[in-house]
């Protein structure tokens, strides 16, 4: 069975244009079959963006970027930040590139399975609406490997349905980082945030 986290989707490409507002910017996105949220901007992504802890001039990693809503929206609203977006899905990467052009933002888009292509690179924010259907172990790896890709006081911010795996992710973030905060609870979803407290 093909999923949106397949590397090479084989389903027929069908696209749909949607409009999304973030920080008073009207953004235009192309949704596509074979890519997560193929018909609209999903609720969890919107909730994450609305409540994420973000400031100007940050280095941001949008991991598992899909069509690029999170990274592109952040770059549009916080233009002085640098944004890197990654996904394993080749169709998602192509759609994300088209969406970056559509919204006139300059972002770096990489094909990468989690942090595979990011050796030695660190960020102030790692943000994700992770692919829960890819399995808990993959999302655990996203959390476990995050600290070595974060600057001191950097944050990992993710969204999940609390009663459908989110509670376990919250616990994992607490175990890995020693801290976790719930930024918002709404309609069964929560946005979790952990701060990397470097020992160096």
**73-83 pLDDT, tens digit each:** 999 999 999 99
Burial of 77 (0-12, 13-18, 19+ CB in 10 A): middle
Reduced DSSP (H G I as helix, E B as strand, rest coil) percent helix, strand, coil of the chain, to 5: 30, 30, 40
- Give dist(CA 51, CA 95) in Å, integer: 25
Residues 93 and 87: their CA atoms lie apart, in Å, by: 6
Question: d(Cα 196, Cα 177) in Å, to the nearest integer?
Answer: 6
- Whether residue 140 is predicted with pLDDT greater than 80 in this model: the reply is yes
CATH 3.90.1720.10 fits 15-195, yes or no: no
Question: H helices of 29-166, where?
Answer: 43-51, 69-77, 90-102, 136-144
Q: How many CA atoms lie within 13 A of 163 on its CB side?
A: 4
- Please indicate whether residue 14 or residue 83 has the higher confidence score (pLDDT): 83
Segment holding 176, helix H or strand E: helix 167-177
pLDDT tens digits, 22-45? 999 999 998 876 575 556 788 999
Instruction: Pick from 1-10, 131-140, 190-199 the range whose average pLDDT is largest.
Output: 190-199
Residue 21 CB: number of other CB atoms within 10 A?
A: 11
């Amino acid at each position: 069975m093909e999923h949106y986290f397949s590397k090479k989707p084989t389903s027929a490409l069908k696209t749909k244009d949607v409009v999304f507002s973030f920080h008073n910017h009207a953004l235009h996105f192309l949704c596509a079959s074979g890519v997560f949220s193929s018909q609209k901007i999903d609720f969890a992504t919107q909730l994450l963006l609305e409540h994420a802890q973000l400031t100007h001039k940050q280095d941001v990693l949008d991991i598992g970027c899909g069509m690029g809503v999170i990274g592109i929206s952040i770059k549009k609203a916080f233009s002085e930040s640098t944004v890197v977006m990654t996904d394993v899905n080749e169709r998602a990467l192509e759609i994300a590139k088209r969406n970056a052009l559509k919204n006139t933002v300059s972002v770096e888009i990489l094909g990468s399975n989690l942090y595979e292509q990011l050796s030695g690179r660190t960020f102030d924010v790692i943000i994700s609406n992770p692919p829960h259907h890819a399995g808990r172990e993959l999302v655990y790896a996203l959390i476990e490997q995050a600290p070595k890709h974060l600057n001191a006081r950097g944050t990992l911010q993710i969204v999940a349905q609390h009663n459908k795996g989110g509670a376990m992710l919250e616990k994992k973030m607490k175990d890995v980082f020693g801290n976790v905060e719930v930024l918002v609870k709404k309609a069964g979803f929560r946005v979790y945030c952990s701060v990397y407290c470097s020992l160096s």
